[in-house]
Chains A and B, each alone.
Chain A
Amino acid sequence: MSDDDRELRVSKIRNGTVIDHITGGQALNVLAILGINGSSGEEVSVGMNVPSDRMKRKDIVKVEGRELSQNEVDVLSLIAPAATINIVRDYEVVEKHRVETPSEVVGVLSCPNHNCITTAQEPVESRFEVLDEGVRCVYCDTIIRQNIAEHIEVE
């Protein structure tokens, strides 16, 4: 059975984004990156730990009426490096691309160092350099190695 067949387990969307090949178990973190918690009314389908030929187990997230910003894709790449992003218009995939790990992620993550200037009331966005393992705040040098998703900025 191909991945495409598996996708039928989750309903099709009309216009929006399908994020596929998410590392198994990371779907809720992906939603957190997108700032979706259900309260704002987006139509979302989530498949978790779906069998996949390529990845054994993967997650899928489909969001109706929403496209991703580059910042969101950058952070997504840190927790789901194999993810593919499909832009859907009128039930057709019109664009499909893989995420790429950037050299820096801006905004989205918040620095775990409470004494970091980026956590103060200043007109500055968080900025993290991407390391081989983890990310590092370019302002205060704090390194986040595990559970990067826990540091996603909550609006």
Chain B
Amino acid sequence: MRHEHIISAKQLSRSDIEEVLDRAAEMAEDPQAVADRHAGTLLGMLFFEPSTRTKMSFTAAMKRLGGDVVDMGSVESSSVKKGESLADTVRVVEGYADALVMRHPSEGSAKMATEFVDVPLINAGDGAGQHPTQTLLDLYTIRENAGFDDLTVGIMGDLKYGRTVHSLAHALTEFDANQHFVSPESLKLPRSVRYDLHEAGATIKEHTELDVVLPELDVLYVTRIQRERFPDESEYREVAGEYQIDAETMDGAKDDLTVMHPLPRVDEIAYDLDDTTHAKYFQQAHNGVPVRMALLDLMLGGDQ
């Protein structure tokens, strides 16, 4: 893999992705083998907005490779609060660490940050933009459960604002997956995403109801429809209610359908689905650690 920084899943080719997933599988298989590989390495954590889960997952990954993290802490306690630019902050902090992980509320922030630093930087979410490690762990989970051959994926929920969805849909074009998009009319894929998928040669099949495509799916990826996307509570309840699934929904699905969700969920997947063999969302969350270990290892030159 020849990428200095990981900004977007769009920059990753199929072979890049497979390299990360293969290495992640090796690491999940035998974590002891890499327990000291990056002893002495420091990963700088720049979280300009809170995301405890992503931060914990990166911290666990770095520590399981023998390294450690240095954390900027919360924005409230940093120089950012005093009005320091992002460009200045990253130039200072790159001196403290061997690589950086950054999450920031503005789209394009990670790309801009890479223009000011020499150490490798991983985008852990830039506003409504990209979150490539989420995509990689999603792909890892898909490969583990359904494989990439002749794959049909349904993506359901908030397709307009859901960045994990955009990034995953784009990455799936690398694997020639059949993709179905299920959402209310008002939360369909945005123009820029359609453009990309179209450029990547994908046919976009859109539906407002799950029933029509459910029987074909190998993977159903569910995302949350947020209250704030709707003008009022009753409209939200009505719309969101149509995109909730439970154990009974699985009657209309393949026996080996894999159900995924980036978590946290609210009520879009009922708890009774957790006990079925379809539920893979907790496994998906756990996969974040080996996938981030693999990515860090590749970026820090672990193969040399």
| Residues of A bordering B, CB below 8 Å | 113, 115-118, 120-124, 131, 136-143, 145
Chain A residues whose C-beta falls within 8 Å of the C-beta of B111 in the assembled complex: 117, 138-139
Chain B residues whose C-beta falls within 8 Å of the C-beta of A113 in the assembled complex: 107
Chain A residues whose C-beta falls within 8 Å of the C-beta of B105 in the assembled complex: 115
B170 → chain A closest CB, angstroms: 11
B83 → chain A closest CB, angstroms: 8
* B128 in contact (CB, < 8 A): yes
Nearest 8 pairs of A and B residues by beta carbon: A139-B108, A140-B107, A117-B108, A140-B108, A117-B106, A117-B109, A141-B192, A117-B112
Chain A residues whose C-beta falls within 8 Å of the C-beta of B196 in the assembled complex: 141
Q: How many B residues, CB 8 Å from partner?
A: 20
Between A and B, 10 residue pairs with Cβ closer than 8 Å are A113-B107, A117-B86, A117-B108, A122-B87, A137-B108, A139-B108, A140-B129, A141-B196, A142-B107, A143-B195
Interface residues of B in 74-122 (CB under 8 A from A): 85-87, 104-109, 111-112, 115
Chain B residues whose C-beta falls within 8 Å of the C-beta of A116 in the assembled complex: 106-108
Interface string of B175-202 (1 = CB under 8 A from A): 0000000000000000110011000000
A131 → chain B closest CB, angstroms: 8
Chain A residues whose C-beta falls within 8 Å of the C-beta of B127 in the assembled complex: 115, 140
- Secondary structure at the A interface, as helix, strand, loop or mixed, is loop
Closest partner residue, chain B, to A121 (CB atom)? B85
Chain A residues whose C-beta falls within 8 Å of the C-beta of B87 in the assembled complex: 122-124
CA distance A136 to B193 in the complex (A): 12
Closest partner residue, chain B, to A138 (CB atom)? B111
CA distance A143 to B126 in the complex (A): 17
CA distance A145 to B191 in the complex (A): 10
Chain B residues whose C-beta falls within 8 Å of the C-beta of A142 in the assembled complex: 107, 192
Determine whether the beta carbon of B112 is less than 8 Å from that of A124: yes
Chain B residues whose C-beta falls within 8 Å of the C-beta of A140 in the assembled complex: 107-108, 127, 129
Chain B residues whose C-beta falls within 8 Å of the C-beta of A120 in the assembled complex: 86, 106
B207 → chain A closest CB, angstroms: 24
Chain B residues whose C-beta falls within 8 Å of the C-beta of A117 in the assembled complex: 86, 104, 106-109, 111-112, 126
A23 → chain B closest CB, angstroms: 24
Determine whether the beta carbon of A122 is less than 8 Å from that of B195: no
Which among B107, B128, B192 is the interface contact of A139 at CB below 8 angstroms?
B107
B165 → chain A closest CB, angstroms: 14
A138 → chain B closest CB, angstroms: 7
CA distance A113 to B190 in the complex (A): 13
Which among A118, A121, A123, A131 is the interface contact of B108 at CB below 8 angstroms?
A118
CA distance A122 to B91 in the complex (A): 13
Chain A residues whose C-beta falls within 8 Å of the C-beta of B195 in the assembled complex: 131, 136, 143
Which among A124, A131, A143 is the interface contact of B115 at CB below 8 angstroms?
A124
CA distance A142 to B107 in the complex (A): 10
CA distance A45 to B126 in the complex (A): 46
Chain B residues whose C-beta falls within 8 Å of the C-beta of A141 in the assembled complex: 107, 129, 192, 196
Known: A115-B105, A139-B112. A122 touches B86 (CB 8 A): yes
Closest partner residue, chain B, to A126 (CB atom)? B108
CA distance A124 to B108 in the complex (A): 11
Chain A residues whose C-beta falls within 8 Å of the C-beta of B106 in the assembled complex: 115-117, 120
Closest partner residue, chain B, to A119 (CB atom)? B106
